[in-house]
Amino acid sequence: MIRTRFAPSPTGYLHVGGARTALFNWLYARHHGGVFVLRIEDTDAERSTDESTQIILDSMKWLGLDWDEGPFYQSQRTDLYKKTAERMLEENKAYYCFCTPETLTEKREKAQAEKKAFRYDGTCADIPLEEARKRIAAGEKAVVRFRKLEGETIVDDQVLGPVKFDSSVLDDFIILRSDGSPIYNFCVVCDDMDMKITHVIRGEDHLSNTPKQVMLYKALGYPMPHFAHISMILGPDKKKLSKRHGAVSVLSFKDEGYLPESFRNYLALLGWAFDDKTEFFSKDDLIEKFSLEHVSKNPAVFDYKKCSWMNGQYISKTEPEKLLECITPLLEADRINISAKPLSWWMETLNVEKQRAFYLNDLVKSFHYYLDDSIAIEPQAKEKHLTAKKSLELLRKFLVLLEKVEPYTQENLENAFKELMEVESIKFGEIVHPVRVALSGKTVGPGIFELFLCMGKDMSIKRIKDALGQ
């Protein structure tokens, strides 16, 4: 059975690159009916925090990436790492090293002076295990080093193709620090072995870790998982995506008003494509169609405009009932009283406003000009449509007709406009623009009759009177 894992470090928020890695692992497991494991790599005690862990869990839940096993915490698995290291010591695949930091610094500086790459020279490699244990019992400090394997290793990467690794560029690297805490690469291999991970799908920045991990797999006699290193995500300037480009935290996109379905869809397209034309995928579509064969080797570019556009498309196609559920917390935070209007009104108004919104927050903002007692009119809109004497006079005359509209229907509202246009010999645009600005404070928005009907007669009359200073 295929088993994938997502293994973030809880040292900050879950960023876009990490979220895409989680998504690809999740999709691959779901596509093959396998198991998706969540593992929190929190061995960096100084930087790991419970808050960051919770942010990661919340981000994954928002994206709909449920896990089958876990979350497992490396900080709670030290017995496994120590037991595995002990086995390697017994099998002479690792050894205790007593070289002090000062000694290693001297050797490193000497190599630099000679313009050579520093590699540990194996000073302690031949110390018998029993002698080493006696020295430790006597109070000496020692790390545990892995005896590197010689030769070349070729990994058939599922994305990059064959990748060659030459062990001559490595030294006998540390797997346990002198305090007994494990090193990252050692933890990863121990955990992947214990959790029976079959496919390691991760960012290309982890490719440099692969040769050490491959050696450890071989030394421990465990079948290597299939590796798939996915390309980096770049900003619009083709540099590594970072805060300078805008939001990179998954929950920041949630706060900005993205639908999880939309953001998940866009994430999937960062380095993967089903074909050269299909852009919209439901969760089930992604599970059905995802494959590593269609993951690109080339870096993906995060296009904020495209991401926003896609979110707008999702919002426009989402049922108003679901939208109201999504924005209710936002409405409440913005002190908009949902009970002020019947449910039918919310449904009708959402159907109007969702066609123009890019973010859920746009929907929240739009309700202010339907519900607030007064609105601020944009200065440019006022200058253009509510300052000319003729415009104000036409607005006064339309107000008289509006007050007589009964029943308050689109047909009767259209007739009011037609009557004014005939009497004053004007075109529709000469009156509709002043009316729109008076109602909403803006020059753009929904269709004018949709605006009237959503706003209601009393509020429409009040807005026009306010604009006229009555």
Q: Helix, strand, or coil here: 48?
A: coil
Give the integer Cα–Cα distance in Å for 467 and 36. 59
Residue 277, classified by CB atoms within 10 Å of its CB into exposed (0-12), middle (13-18) or buried (19+), is exposed
Residues 6+ apart with CB under 8 A from 264: 23, 63, 64, 283, 286
Start-end of H helices in 6-124: 16-31, 50-63, 78-90, 101-113
Catalytic residue among 134, 243, 306, 390: 243
> Does residue 320 have a cis peptide bond before it, meaning omega lies within 30 degrees of 0?
no
**Tokens read off for 114:** 């000679």
Place of tokens 């839940």: 61
Q: Helix, strand, or coil here: 331?
A: helix
Give the integer Cα–Cα distance in Å for 315 and 259. 8
CB 441 within 8 A of CB 378: yes
Biggest CA–CA distance in the chain, Å, is 109
**Tokens read off for 50:** 């419970």
Q: Considering Cα of 277, then 260, then 289, then 6, what sign does the dihedral take?
A: positive
116 has catalytic annotation: no
User: Which residues does the annotation mark as catalytic?
Assistant: 243
